[in-house]
Structure 1
């Protein structure tokens, strides 16, 4: 026995069966019939190395077992490989090469495609369990380039991570690579090994077709047209910038020449001009009031972009009318309204329910059964100062004229109390702003509130706790605030009006 054999992992019949995913009895039969020859014998027991088992499984003279062998153990085949075709999959496109050992499928998930379990792709591409299936993921390694995840088609629960060097060695040619934002279905389906690097429009995260079509229905200078065109340009510029960044990362990776070929580069898109926030808000208010399907699609895309940062209301919350007196009285003031594009914030298309509106804030409310979903205002239209903060679901604001409003909130951050975290931090910032200006925009931050105010709202106060203006101002000054039992539910039976 030579020195190299001493350092090999020795596999018995059971371990060979586990490696190839077959019963031990099958391996015993292979040995008995002379199909599988042992690497060596130790104390009368045959053993095999992993390399020898995989080499035997890939030998064309034996049964074809390539779907059970990682591509990292396939031999280089520079003269026995040919590109075959492209295959359209749900949410992806696969490139297929035919090799001496079997087909190799390289799967490209599409930019905005609906992702499917990798196992489903493997079953569709290799129903007989042969060959190799490799999926390009979204990560990067400076040593190995874009990350790959492979499945054994005959044993799809087993995955492993090959490199582009492994793949190029098996295929005997540079392997094409597309940045994530350039994985357009038609671009991939049209690819051939003779195709030069193309310059193409990166696929944006938004449906910019809907945005630009809607913009064309307005006069050029209308706020809605300006905001829609601007949002489309922002989405295209972001996609192009992301694709260009991916290309730069790949070019800096330590990959040998002839391993990876950049198949596409992004078409440059200039940065979008900034639009005054008042113009943006005016444009969205016009769109929210429309009832056509195109407007609904645009609102949907706008909220996908930034959660509805320029909308007068966003951040939907569930409200139960039986939760408190404040919630019940709020539901009683709601009035029926037409289902406009604003309700895209609250309900799926075709969902059954009632379209309502809060007349005090103009915020849309969706009622389905006994459940209410309301978009929260980003600022209050109140005409009187803050009188009380009511810790409830949601948090409520009472003004000195007796009116109660859902507490305004930013399109991204939520507000809450009772722990040390972002929710109480955002609520403390909001209270600090409303104490000075009841019409203040809900802050788009979670840090920076007065320490005493944040400490008060981080306390584990029970639901229905009512904090008066005097208590909130004292906390803001850093003075201790005592919460008496009478501060809880104290106004449950009072009239708001």
Structure 2
């Protein structure tokens, strides 16, 4: 649950429960279930600074269930009256924390905020108290976003003690309200939708709003400066996002409003459901055609291309013509020098802009043999670094792998005298050495494929099946700059590692 933790000192527990020092002393002796304290340590870890503290939610909830202190405990944890007068809907409220509804009940005015998040209940209750609580709210509930036993999960905070949060039961709140309560799926939890609800109202059909990713892709799909293949690729991904959001919303409605704990249905009704009239939108077209569209889009300089490419790099990077993002220091006399000398300076493209991300590049380049974007920028330590996409494959030709050099990543030297960053898929990385229990099977799998075919498009779906000898070789703690010859790699591939 999303209940925030806070602690009470001995004096604060006494104040909460209305007992004196002697009364506090007898609590643990009279009540076996009275929460036990924990030790809070001072900043200097001095034993003299240790003090006993109690978890506030535990004490507050215990009090609500203990007849002697129930009137001082959590409002929605107290036993419900045997006979409940029907509750009354008290209308909609706009609050800083989100859209809310008020309900008059036998316990007082309960406010349900149809948003969630850490400390939302406590912050909202505190703000309401500080502003005078003109509406007379007794307790405030917020949605947490998951499912409880009797309906949507709620976190509550009482105006009397707003700093203490606790879990509340949707079933108890519906019993107090005297009716099934409305709930809105997360993507339709909009003030303009919720404010029009009244008891007994039918669910409304609402179009799921587009998120920023879908909007960026729709802009690119409508941009006439892009090739038709690129517009189709952007639209395909936008449709996919829209379909996912509608499916997510529809599934939420099914879970929260149709299912229940055991055979008892949840006492919840959907205030809104997603518009399914055009669902699903067409998507998942020919992968090769989509990849061609994204490849063309990556070469553009329009901001719409950058925005769309940023979405694609997160949602489906396998559609893009790039491997993993790699960064190495700008340093003289190392293997990468042979590679950087052939780079060609160029104007930035959308691919460069996405590669740069939040850095401030000083120059842009292209590798003329692999077409991979490269930039020179300040690294995390403030020093100059080369940032580039690893290629997905190396140029087709008659050469073969001559050696691998280990320097921040894997570098391939070829029999015809070239140096390349080793190819890698977008979601993997190449490394060697002790991986804290993980083995560098990605590097072994790439090497295994390049030994047989230097121009192979690497596939790392089954990298854990790489030859054990190669994996063992890359698991060693090689120094930066170590060169592994073709003979060394071939020998390792056919030699099983020794068991210890």
Q: Is the 8 A contact 2:424 2:458 kept in 1?
A: yes
Q: What SS does the aligned partner of 2:153 have? A: strand
Are 2:98 and 1:83 equivalent residues in the alignment?
no
Q: Show the counterpart of 1:292.
A: 302
Q: 1:87 to 1:219 in 2, by over 3 A?
A: same
Are 2:442 and 1:426 equivalent residues in the alignment?
yes
Cα displacement (A) at 1:88 = 5.1
Match of 1:380 among 390, 394, 397: 394
Give the CA RMSD over aligned residues: 3.8
Show structure 2 runs of 5+ residues with no match.
1-8, 31-61, 379-383
Cα displacement (A) at 1:283 = 0.7
1:12-411 → structure 2 map (5 Å cutoff): 17-18=12-13, 21=16, 50=64, 51-52=66-67, 55-57=70-72, 69-73=74-78, 75=80, 78-87=85-94, 89=96, 92-97=98-103, 99=105, 101=107, 103-109=109-115, 117-118=119-120, 119-124=122-127, 127=130, 131-141=138-148, 143-152=149-158, 155=161, 157-184=163-190, 186-203=192-209, 207-218=213-224, 222-250=228-256, 251-254=258-261, 256=264, 259-268=267-276, 269-270=279-280, 272-306=282-316, 308-322=317-331, 325-348=334-357, 352-360=360-368, 361-369=370-378, 370-381=384-395, 383=397, 384-411=399-426
The count of corresponding residues between Structure 1 and Structure 2 is: 435
Q: Give deviations 1:279-317, integer Å, cap 9, x for gaps.
A: 1221112211222222221112112313x2211115322
TM-score (norm 1): 0.74
- The answer to which of 118-127 and 355-364 deviates more is 118-127
Q: What SS does the aligned partner of 1:199 have? A: strand
Cα displacement (A) at 1:100 = 6.0
Q: Is the 8 A contact 2:326 2:387 kept in 1?
A: yes
Provide the rounded CA distance (Å) in 2 between the counterparts of 1:231 and 1:81. Answer: 46
Q: What SS does the aligned partner of 1:228 have? A: helix
Q: 1:449 to 1:194 in 2, by over 3 A?
A: same
Provide the rounded CA distance (Å) in 2 between the counterparts of 1:184 and 1:132. Answer: 23
Q: Is the 8 A contact 1:299 1:344 kept in 2?
A: no
Q: What SS does the aligned partner of 1:297 have? A: helix
Provide the rounded CA distance (Å) in 2 between the counterparts of 1:103 and 1:248. Answer: 29
Q: Show the counterpart of 1:32.
A: none
Q: 1:246 to 1:362 in 2, by over 3 A?
A: same
Show structure 1 runs of 5+ residues with no match.
1-13, 29-38, 43-47, 58-67, 482-497
Q: What SS does the aligned partner of 1:304 have? A: helix
Cα displacement (A) at 1:123 = 4.1
Q: 1:184 to 1:258 in 2, by over 3 A?
A: same
Provide the rounded CA distance (Å) in 1 between the counterparts of 2:100 and 2:138. Answer: 14
Q: 1:122 to 1:449 in 2, by over 3 A?
A: farther
Cα displacement (A) at 1:98 = 5.0
TM-score (norm 2): 0.74
Provide the rounded CA distance (Å) in 2 between the counterparts of 1:117 and 1:338. Answer: 48
